[in-house]
């Protein structure tokens, strides 16, 4: 038997969640409505009309959830603050009850020996801000900076890492271009404005956090970086198609944040839509703040080719042009079906994509520390007669991706930690409660939490810092 892979000392094993996906308590404790409350309550927007009104009832059961985190032996827990819980309208008055909720959670985590990793924005924008234009409105970026400052003042040095935004690609492109996420708009110019104001919000918030907490504050941004491969690597047209897709998928965020510039090709190809005058003088210095750690969310890969212009266009990424394309500036490309296996989301399972992504990031930004802030899989779990959830497929998914991450470490990539998505089954956005990503099962009728086999396996990984065999699951 080969020796199991061991990770470096101090490597952080954690798990992640997001406020709207787990909290519930939507109208309690002075919380204001967010765009996801509005969206999920709009008929036809989510599967089965599911909403986050109750979700995992974490708002009332957070102490039990912290116990699970502790018992899993995790070094860190990544959660998000619901902006409308701490500042119901997104500007103006803060809500002491909301702040107290997160303060209590943070204390309990520290007491349990778990580092709090906070995301300030995981998609639940206060509805009042959306009514004033949401992320398409520059004012939202300033409002976000004020909110970030207040959180830094309130939670202070208790927070291990401050992540400003989760996956701004989704906020801007799924929220304002394809419309499958809140607020559900389908306008490409609005989406481009949103991209910039999210990047600006990130930079402004980093400055505020550092201003309050000094240079010892660790700041980060989490991106869902897309791994996009050419169908035919020897075809110039396909390679060019990859570049176009990559610029709106990755470059629109990595560029302003890490290089201080938007991709020239993206600006050029969208010049018929906008002159980009929403990027004001000095903005790109603000977006380009040094980051202590770049958060990477990874699930699967994509394959594209240049669309020949006739015949049915393949769109295996799931978007429909008739409903609005998120691939702004990349109009003539096709997304091809990737080979399986697939998760219950229909996403292809390709651990090698994670290694490739980390190596390419390391090549472009050799001094940038990285952290896997999300990785995991939805499967159709079943409770067995023995009362357990033998989620072998999820165990294998986690195992293989952790191995893939290890291979990147072997090649010198500086990755500081890994967070499994997700701690609990939860509200999977437009898919509602139908898709289960948790390593802990949630029975939505009783709110009972049950460790799946993947939780047992992950506990062993977190507590030994070496990768258990897939069969190594406590009886």
Q: Does 101 bind ligand FCB (CB under 6 A)?
A: no
Min separation Cβ 31 and ligand FCB, Å: 19
- Contact (Cβ atoms closer than 8 angstroms) between residue 244 and residue 330: yes
Owner of token pair 């007491």:
111
Q: From residue 300 to residue 319, what is the string marking binding to ligand FCB with x (rule CB under 6 A)?
A: --------------------
Which residue bears the tokens 């394809």? 178
x-or-dash string of contact with ligand FCB, 222-241, rule CB under 6 A: --x-----------------
Q: At closest approach, how far in Å is the CB of 317 from ligand FCB?
A: 13
Single out the residue of 147, 327, 421, 458 in contact with ligand FCB (rule: CB under 6 A): 421
Q: Rule CB under 6 A: say whether 167 interacts with ligand FCB.
A: yes
Q: How far apart are CA 72 and CA 66, in angstroms?
A: 10
Distance, in Å, from the CA atom of 326 to the CA atom of 10, rounded to the nearest integer, reads 39
**Residue 373 found at the interface with ligand FCB (CB under 6 A):** no
Kindly tell me the burial class for residue 284, based on how many C-beta atoms sit within 10 Å of its own C-beta (0-12, 13-18, 19 or more): buried
Task: Verify binding: residue 433, ligand FCB, rule CB under 6 A.
Answer: no
- Residues 159, 157: Cα–Cα separation, whole Å: 5
Indicate left, alpha or beta for 25 from its phi (over 0: left) and psi (-120 to 50: alpha).
left
In sequence order, what are the residues at sequence separation of 6 or more whose Cβ sits closer than 8 angstroms to the Cβ of residue 130? Answer: 35, 38, 183
Using rule CB under 6 A, residue 77 touches ligand FCB: no
Please state the φ and ψ torsions of residue 305, each to the nearest 5 degrees. Answer: -145, 165
Q: How far is the CB of 435 from ligand FCB (least distance, A)?
A: 8
| Number of residues counted as binding ligand FCB (CB under 6 A) | 12
Residues 15-54 that bind ligand FCB (CB under 6 A): 18, 21
In angstroms, the CA 427 to CA 66 distance is 19
Beta strands in 183-257 (DSSP E): 218-223, 227-230
| Residue 439 binds ligand FCB, judged by CB under 6 A | no
Kindly state whether residue 328 participates in binding ligand FCB, applying the rule CB under 6 A. no
**What is the closest distance, in whole angstroms, from the C-beta atom of residue 424 to ligand FCB in the complex?**
12
d(CA 143, CA 120): 12
With tokens 């502790």, the residue in question is 70
Considering the candidates 154, 167, 244, 428, report the single residue annotated as catalytic.
167
**Residue 395 is encoded by which pair of tokens?**
């165990």
**By CB under 6 A, which span of 33-41, 384-392, 406-414, 421-429 interacts with ligand FCB?**
421-429
- Please state, in angstroms and rounded to a whole number, the distance separating the CA atoms of residues 229 and 233: 8
Residue 457 lies near ligand FCB (rule: CB under 6 A): no
Residue 167 designated active-site: yes
Of 165-173, 226-234, 252-260, 352-360, the segment contacting ligand FCB by CB under 6 A is 165-173
- Choosing from 23, 128, 374, 428, the catalytic residue is 374
Active site residue 208: no
Residues that bind ligand FCB (CB under 6 A): 18, 21, 166-167, 170, 224, 297, 374, 421, 428-429, 437
């Amino acid at each position: 038997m080969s020796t199991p892979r061991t990770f470096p000392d101090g490597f952080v094993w954690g798990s992640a969640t997001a406020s709207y996906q787990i909290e519930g308590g939507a109208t309690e404790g002075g919380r204001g409505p967010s765009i996801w409350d509005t969206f999920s309550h709009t008929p036809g927007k989510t599967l089965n009309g599911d909403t986050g009104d109750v979700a995992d009832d974490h708002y009332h059961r957070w102490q039990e959830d912290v116990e699970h985190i502790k018992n899993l032996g995790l070094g860190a827990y990544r959660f998000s603050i619901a902006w409308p819980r701490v500042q119901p309208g997104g500007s103006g008055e803060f809500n002491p009850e909301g702040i107290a909720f997160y303060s209590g959670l943070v204390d309990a985590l520290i007491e349990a020996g778990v580092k709090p990793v906070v995301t300030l924005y995981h998609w639940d924008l206060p509805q009042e801000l959306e009514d004033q234009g949401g992320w398409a409105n520059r004012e939202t970026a300033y409002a976000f900076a004020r909110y970030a400052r207040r959180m830094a003042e309130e939670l202070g040095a208790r927070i291990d890492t401050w992540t400003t935004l989760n996956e701004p690609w989704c906020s801007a492109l799924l929220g304002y271009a394809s419309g499958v996420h809140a607020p559900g708009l389908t306008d490409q110019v609005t989406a481009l404005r949103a991209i910039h104001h999210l990047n600006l919000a990130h930079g402004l918030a980093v400055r505020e956090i550092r201003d309050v907490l000094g240079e010892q504050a660790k700041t980060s941004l989490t991106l869902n970086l897309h791994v996009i491969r050419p169908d035919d690597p020897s075809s110039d047209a396909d390679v060019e198609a990859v570049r176009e897709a990559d610029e709106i998928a990755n470059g629109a965020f990595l560029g302003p944040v890490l290089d201080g510039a938007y991709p020239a090709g993206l600006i050029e190809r969208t010049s018929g839509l906008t002159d980009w005058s929403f990027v004001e003088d000095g903005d790109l210095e603000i977006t380009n703040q040094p980051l202590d750690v770049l958060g990477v969310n990874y699930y699967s890969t994509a394959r594209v080719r240049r669309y020949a212009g006739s015949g049915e266009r393949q769109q295996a990424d799931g978007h429909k042009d008739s409903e609005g394309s998120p691939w702004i500036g990349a109009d003539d490309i096709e997304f091809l079906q990737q080979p399986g296996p697939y998760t219950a989301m229909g996403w292809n399972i390709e651990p090698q994509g994670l290694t490739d992504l980390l190596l390419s990031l390391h090549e472009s930004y050799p001094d940038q520390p990285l952290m896997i802030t999300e990785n995991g899989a939805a499967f159709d779990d079943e409770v067995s007669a023995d009362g357990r959830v033998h989620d072998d497929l999820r165990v294998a998914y986690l195992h293989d991706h952790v191995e893939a991450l290890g291979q990147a470490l072997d090649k010198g990539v500086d990755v500081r930690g890994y967070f499994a998505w997700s701690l609990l089954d939860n509200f999977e956005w437009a898919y509602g409660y139908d898709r289960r990503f948790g390593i802990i099962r949630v029975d939505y009728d009783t709110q009972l939490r049950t460790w799946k086999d993947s939780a047992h396996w992950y506990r062993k990984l977190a507590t030994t810092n070496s990768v258990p065999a897939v069969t190594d699951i406590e009886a």
